[in-house]
Structure 1
């Protein structure tokens, strides 16, 4: 797993360096100098995707902070049912509260007016509070387990290209690569007493490639947008208690759509709906019987205020609509354009 992690990091750095040094005069860039990029009305960017690309020669430093809260209640039974009302075995009820804090540093550079490169470096802090009680052992108090973990998350690199510049709707294609620089769940030891992680992981443990396409339709003073993407998680060999196994993490199909509305030249707000379908995972090429298809739906609201021509503040809030989606997420972003 460590070897694959270093390989993915080297590939990520190679992608970034090749994009930076790819800026050489060409016929396409000459045409971009003559035509000025049409900028869509600024709105709050609630899905962390820019409405229009960074102009040629400009660099955007985007500092972000996000707070994510998720909780779940479950009852597990280890045993068997004799009658519909009689269970022989052990019943355990658990209540889990998960909190994730992420500080992200994103850099975007416009190679041409149509093409930009992006790199994101996240720093992650996670904490879990798990409360358990075994209903048939006569326990008077809940068993409380507190876990945490912090460190570098999975670094990402992305390339985006705007297909048309003069007529709406505008179409933007993207290709995103996620590395495995974060601490993998398979690199963390399991506590034999509690059967929980000793420390929480900060990454997924699997590299992924995400192609996507976004449509932006400006209708003054509003902007309508829709996007779709497919996340392909690259399978990898990991060491588990059962020995070395090939894990193929379930891919993700994503759709999102929404609208942004400009109140005045400095302030705008937006709202949108996001849906993700996470396909079943495979182990050694076989789908386990307990594998589950996940459906994540969320509703997002955002607000954007322009401090100056080159600096804005974006605040976004997301509420989960399905059981698998995070309950609540609050984010703050401050993009600064450096020319």
Structure 2
């Protein structure tokens, strides 16, 4: 009788254990299902790798509450040649007159420090302070009307550039069906040396033959635009593992400003400068090869409208040849040295006459 009673109690305890196990399993599955349903639309729920964070930071889509200080250096080179003929063509084959071939080589090196701080997961503030060093080499062939004559001059200038401050606001966060949408707004202050009253010098060649004037060069070079500028635009970023696709569009309005002198000669001529506005767009992609290294390539284009000048007491006139189309193809790489420091490099190749022949950029952002 005692044996039978203990045997009848064992199945009852086993059933209670199995019932408890089933209830726990069902609860776990229910919780997991609810979590999956809640996070179904979230794309970057987990902390991204260092290489992905570098791409997001460069595209201003990484919002954090840490201070980021990003020193950088960029170099651009451009070379332009111009043929000037002063005379006439005889017998449709022989040119009689003066021939001048002008070549300008421009080297621009910019040292800047960019400081960014994420106020929240949607808002980021930025301040950029640049120092610009420019060197231009002017060369002309045709001194004294002879095709073998050569005159050259080099002008260099280094000074503070135009300081800018801006903000980036995440309008929409990335989901499975839409990209990150970030709105940006910035103001550029005319803290650099403006180009509107720079004097010019004329080189005198062939002194023994009467002093022919053949090459005119500026006495110094500008490091800024000289006017206030207001920019706004949108950037879009979508994660398509293992790639990141991004695009941006923007508009810059330059505010017209009066100057006491806008003439390059010794005579003082006051007037107003209305620098042409510009429209920019770009798109590209980046690939995270591993946890710390990524590659990117992109296309950028900027169209600048004509500049208008109004001399005091006169009518507004457009500056011929002041509009520009600058397009370039860029490719770069980022490498994360640590969780807070990275190296960002890029190279751009100019695709139009108004764009630099090539540009090089090196940056090292680190977070505090």
TM-score class, shorter: 0.7 to 0.9
Show the 5 A alignment for 1:158-307. 158-165=166-173, 167=175, 168-193=178-203, 194-238=215-259, 239-241=261-263, 243-284=269-310, 286-288=316-318, 290-307=320-337
Q: 1:81 to 1:228 in 2, by over 3 A?
A: farther
Tell me the residue number matched to 1:330: 360
Cα distance in 1, alignment partners of residues 341 and 67 from structure 2:
12
Indicate if the aligned counterparts of 1:109 and 1:118 stay in contact, CA closer than 8 A.
Answer: yes
Q: 1:244 to 1:138 in 2, by over 3 A?
A: same
- Structure 1: runs of 5 or more not aligned: 1-34
Cα distance in 1, alignment partners of residues 296 and 348 from structure 2:
12
How far off is 1:49 after superposition? 4.4
- Counterpart secondary structure, 2:196: helix
Q: 1:262 to 1:89 in 2, by over 3 A?
A: same
Higher relative contact order (CA 8 A, sep 6+): 1
- Counterpart secondary structure, 1:290: coil
Cα distance in 1, alignment partners of residues 82 and 152 from structure 2:
15
Tell me the residue number matched to 2:123: 115
Tell me the residue number matched to 1:28: none
Q: Of residues 148, 152, 160 in structure 1, which corresponds to 2:160?
A: 152
Indicate if the aligned counterparts of 2:98 and 2:146 stay in contact, CA closer than 8 A.
Answer: no
How far off is 1:199 after superposition? 1.6
Indicate if the aligned counterparts of 2:253 and 2:277 stay in contact, CA closer than 8 A.
Answer: yes
Q: Normalising to structure 1: TM-score of the pair?
A: 0.81
Summarize deviations over 1:143-170 as a string: whole Å, max 9, x none.
0111100011111111110112352400
Indicate if the aligned counterparts of 2:100 and 2:147 stay in contact, CA closer than 8 A.
Answer: no
Tell me the residue number matched to 2:134: 126
- Counterpart secondary structure, 1:195: strand
Point out the structure with the larger helix share: 2
Q: Of residues 130, 143, 146 in structure 2, which corresponds to 1:138?
A: 146
How far off is 1:307 after superposition? 0.7
Summarize deviations over 1:216-251 as a string: whole Å, max 9, x none.
011111100000001111111231237112111111
Larger Rg: 2
Q: Of residues 24, 44, 52 in structure 1, which corresponds to 2:61?
A: 52
Q: Normalising to structure 2: TM-score of the pair?
A: 0.75
Residues 138-147 or 258-267, more deviating: 138-147
Summarize deviations over 1:277-312 as a string: whole Å, max 9, x none.
111111227343724532111000010101111111
Cα distance in 1, alignment partners of residues 255 and 97 from structure 2:
39
Cα distance in 2, alignment partners of residues 90 and 111 from structure 1:
64
Cα distance in 2, alignment partners of residues 46 and 141 from structure 1:
52
Q: Size of the alignment, in residue pairs?
A: 303
Tell me the residue number matched to 1:23: none
- Structure 2: runs of 5 or more not aligned: 1-41, 204-214
Cα distance in 2, alignment partners of residues 196 and 48 from structure 1:
42
How far off is 1:116 after superposition? 0.9
- Counterpart secondary structure, 1:150: strand
